[in-house]
Amino acid sequence: MLSIEGLVSGYGRTKVLHEISLEVPDEGLVAILGHNGAGKSTLMKTIIGLIRTLHGTIMWDGEDISKVSPHERVRRGIAYVPQGQQSFGQLTALENMELVAGSSHAPKSLIDDMMDRFPDLREYGSRKAELMSGGQRQQLAIARALITQPKLLILDEPGEGIQPSIVADIRRTILELAASGIQVLLVEQQIDFAVMHCSRYFVMASGRILSGGNGGQESVSAVREVLTI
Ligand SMILES: Nc1ncnc2c1ncn2[C@@H]1O[C@H](COP(=O)(O)OP(=O)(O)OP(=O)(O)O)[C@@H](O)[C@H]1O
Ligand SMILES: [Mg+2]
């Protein structure tokens, strides 16, 4: 379980997150919602350790990992797919996956599993990542994260700027992963999908948690109301 308490972080002297507390239980999907600039990506980067925790704790598997390096957090089972479909552009899709498999001592068979999951990665595996479409690069980024065999997968707006058919594939994958016991922390602009399928959601505004609740149809309109304010 991921349990965050009183988390404060930011950029330089500017604090962006103000006393964030939330939990991601051992099973299921947790959604983070909020307008542009609410601090969603800052929260994800702080959880994975790309941004320093100024105050508060990030408990993971019973230990405070807030001072632990990002690499060590990945080694302990947290994977992070940043907003904006990033991979090593000069490497091919296959090389990108091999690099991650090598550094995380994952079996090569996992690369095949990913190509079964995302057939585009098989078809375009020999293409440099920078020459792939945004949707294909997002699939590659998710594949890279999954090759580390995470217990918790953090996805920051995986559907942003991507054609609907690939968004549908990515959503199906997210639901399959959550159903298979991987904890998923999802930042998502599409309220319906996130709130319908999540076990818990949190709405952020100005670096704070504004509201939260359990997922499901009834919560969708409640979230809409909060977000129109
Ligand atoms: N590298 C940075 N340096 C300084 N300020 C930053 C930096 N990145 C983000 N910010 C600021 O932190 C605040 C939160 O940004 P963040 O990217 O976390 O928002 P977000 O909720 O992910 O928004 P979006 O929905 O647009 O992705 C914003 O005011 C933003 O301007
Ligand atoms: Mg963001």
The residues, ordered by sequence, that sit 6+ positions from 80 with a Cβ below 8 Å of its Cβ are 44, 47, 48, 74, 145, 154, 156
pLDDT confidence of residue 137: 92
Q: Which two tokens stand for residue 114?
A: 């990913």
Q: Which of 183, 181, 201, 199 is nearest to 191 (CA)?
A: 201
In single-letter form, the type of residue at position 203 comes to: V
pLDDT confidence of residue 144: 95
Q: What band does 124 get if pLDDT is binned at 50, 70 and 90?
A: confident
Distance from Cα 6 to the centre of ligand 2, integer Å: 20
Q: If you search the block for the tokens 């405070």, which residue do you land on?
A: 64
Q: Residue 83 pLDDT more than 70?
A: yes
Q: Residue 229 pLDDT more than 70?
A: no
- Find out whether 192 and 184 touch, Cβ atoms under 8 Å: no
pLDDT confidence of residue 35: 94
Q: What is the mean pLDDT of residues 125-141?
A: 91
Mutate-to-test residue for ligand 1 from 42, 154, 209, highest number of ligand atoms within 8 A of CB: 42
pLDDT confidence of residue 84: 86
Q: What percent of the chain has pLDDT over 70?
A: 100
Candidate from 84-88, 94-98, 173-177, 208-212 with smallest mean pLDDT: 84-88
pTM, entire model? 0.94
pLDDT confidence of residue 200: 94
pLDDT confidence of residue 25: 87
With 0-12 CB in 10 A as exposed, 13-18 as middle and 19+ as buried, what is 172? Answer: exposed
Strand order in the sheet with 63-64: 14-24, 2-11, 55-60, 63-64
Q: Residue 92 pLDDT more than 90?
A: yes
Q: What is the mean pLDDT of the chain?
A: 93
Instruction: Give, in order, the Cα–Cα distances in Å from 10 to each of 23, 51, 172, 173.
Output: 20, 7, 33, 32
Ligand lying closest to the C-alpha of residue 202? 1
pLDDT confidence of residue 198: 94
- Find out whether 58 and 65 touch, Cβ atoms under 8 Å: yes
**Cα–Cα distance, 151 to 163 (Å, whole number):** 28
Q: 162 or 16, which is more confident?
A: 16
Ligand 1: residue whose CA is nearest its atom 28: 37
pLDDT tens string 2-58: 999 999 999 998 999 999 999 998 888 999 999 999 999 999 999 999 999 999 999
Distance from Cα 68 to the centre of ligand 2, integer Å: 23
Write out the H or E segment, with its range, that includes residue 27.
none
Of ligand 1's listed atoms, the one at least distance from the Cα of 83 is 27
Q: SS3 of 162, please?
A: coil
With 0-12 CB in 10 A as exposed, 13-18 as middle and 19+ as buried, what is 13? Answer: exposed
Q: Residue 163 pLDDT more than 70?
A: yes
pLDDT confidence of residue 87: 74
